[in-house]
Amino acid sequence: MGTVNEFIDEYGYSNNWFVDYVGEVQNQMRIMNILDVKEYLAGVHGINKRPNEMFNGKEFVPRRIVLQYAKRLLEFGTAYLIGNKVTLTGNEKVVEALRGIYKNGYDKIDFDIVHNVNRYGNAYEYVYVKDGKITSKLIDAADSYPVVDSENEYIAFVESYTINHVTFYNVYYPDRVEKYTNAGGDLHFKNSYNNLTGLPVIYRNDNPINDVYGRSDLEDYITILDSMEDLISKSVDAFYKYITGIPIVKGQPLKGEGLPTDVLGGGLVLDSDADFMFAQNQFDHDAFETLYKHLMTSLLDISCTPAVSMGKVDISNLSEVSIKLLFSLANIRAMMSEKFIREGMKIRHDKFRKLLELQGKRFTDEEWETLDIVFQYAMPQSEKDIIDNLTKLKEMGAISIESILGHSPYTNDVNSEMVRLSSERDSESKRNSEADNIAN
């Protein structure tokens, strides 16, 4: 593995190499793309730039209808993969130690990691010890600059952000973290800290052209969404512009002022061969509906989102097999995302092991290698079918009580439930023993 000094020499950076690295064009372009995604999710869409028009000699302000489907699709992808908490399996000693760590808010951290990967393509997690407890810090993707050498080795990490025109730099080396700031106009060193866990963990999703930086899922949706917003905005404008029509008189009107206004509210008096009408623009509702439906269907297909989850189809009396077929694309997408998230979590767990051993909790390689992560996708399921299947497995002696509780839709905390069951069994055994003593 290369070193930062070799990286600096190879690319000709100065002593303050991290400032030069952050300012490089490719890094700034990547950060600008992330900021564009943030603005889009905040409602800054291309349709908002639609200029005003002239209509009937006056300035007309056109409709700029914003569809925030992207937020819903990204939220669905995140919740489907990680909405149900991950389950740790393996050696009881190892799992128990990690469960103690996960109680420190890691369910939320896992959710945020997956959500950031879906939105920006990457997420970054730094594991450290605070007040004696192992915890993690998520670094904003817009502030993150992983350093990769010419051999594609991850050798350092720079976190850079600006507050009130002052830029701060946190430079992560494998053995230390250095902090710098340019407050006062000149860059100066603030402090240095020991780094017990190495570099931040990089999470990413699939990107065929880059092994370090993932690709925002929004890039797959944005052109379809722009077309939908353009179609509906212009269609609404066309409907309101031409709904009143243009008045047309055919033939010769009779002389005079027409009907008195106090009789019928006004009117026209026409000759016997004359005619009056409004010429109106015909709004092609069928064409609009067909185009919009095709765009919506394409959007759901590309995002692997079942139409039923967005309320676009009516269903009833579906079997478990039918539900699995409806969510088959969502399952495939979740499997692909799981592959990359699992890689990052394994690196995180290795950092956990190092910190646990520093706290005196040691594990053999054989014990640690049994550790695994189980994702439970948030696919709708029949609770009755789950209970029936678990009951049959128990009758066959093919599943433990703990595994039954882990798969039960009515159990939130397996450990607490196991403790309660053990307490109830002890109480029941004690009562039976007392009853036998009285009988004898």
Q: How do residues 234-293 score in pLDDT, each as one tens digit? A: 988 887 776 666 677 777 666 655 555 554 455 666 666 777 777 666 777 888 889 999
* pLDDT at residue 320, as a whole number: 63
Cα–Cα distance between 43 and 158 in angstroms, integer? 30
Cα–Cα distance between 421 and 411 in angstroms, integer? 12
**Mean pLDDT along residues 1-25:** 88
**Mean pLDDT along residues 316-333:** 76
Q: Is the pLDDT of residue 49 over 60?
A: yes
User: Among 306, 347, 350, which Cα is nearest to 330's?
Assistant: 306
**Mean pLDDT along residues 69-96:** 91
Residue 291 · residue 304 · CB < 8 Å: no
Cα–Cα distance between 377 and 85 in angstroms, integer? 9
Residue 228 · residue 292 · CB < 8 Å: yes
- Three-state SS at 248: strand
**Mean pLDDT along residues 178-190:** 92
What are the residues whose beta carbons fall under 8 Å from the beta carbon of 405, sequence distance 6 or more? 411, 414, 417, 418
Give the alpha-carbon dihedral of 416, 350, 30, 68, to 10 degrees.
-10
Cα–Cα distance between 206 and 209 in angstroms, integer? 9
**Spacing of C-alpha 197 from chain mean position:** 27
Cα–Cα distance between 268 and 258 in angstroms, integer? 5
Cα–Cα distance between 309 and 330 in angstroms, integer? 11
* pLDDT at residue 1, as a whole number: 53
Q: Is the pLDDT of residue 434 over 60?
A: yes
What are the residues whose beta carbons fall under 8 Å from the beta carbon of 218, sequence distance 6 or more? 37, 40, 41, 70, 74, 119
Exposure on the CB side of residue 13, measured as CA atoms within 13 A: 19
* pLDDT at residue 322, as a whole number: 67
> Range with the lowest mean pLDDT among 43-52, 176-185, 320-329?
320-329
Residue 326's pLDDT band (cuts 50, 70, 90) = confident
**Mean pLDDT along residues 285-314:** 85
Q: Which residues pair with 160 in a beta bridge?
A: 169
What are the residues whose beta carbons fall under 8 Å from the beta carbon of 41, sequence distance 6 or more? 70, 71, 74, 119, 218
User: Among 120, 41, 112, 123, which Cα is nearest to 83's?
Assistant: 112
* pLDDT at residue 134, as a whole number: 94
Cα–Cα distance between 109 and 65 in angstroms, integer? 34
Residue 160 · residue 172 · CB < 8 Å: no
Cα–Cα distance between 140 and 118 in angstroms, integer? 14
- Three-state SS at 344: helix
Q: Is the pLDDT of residue 168 over 90?
A: yes
> Range with the lowest mean pLDDT among 82-91, 121-130, 261-270, 379-388?
261-270
* pLDDT at residue 110, as a whole number: 96
Q: How far apart are the first and last CA of the chain?
A: 76
DSSP-derived letter for residue 199 is S
- Name the most confidently modeled range: 13-22, 418-427, 429-438: 13-22
Q: Which residue has 């200029």 as its token pair? A: 51
Distances (CA, A) of 366 to 93, 371, 411: 12, 10, 30
**Mean pLDDT along residues 350-370:** 93
The whole model's pTM is what?
Answer: 0.83
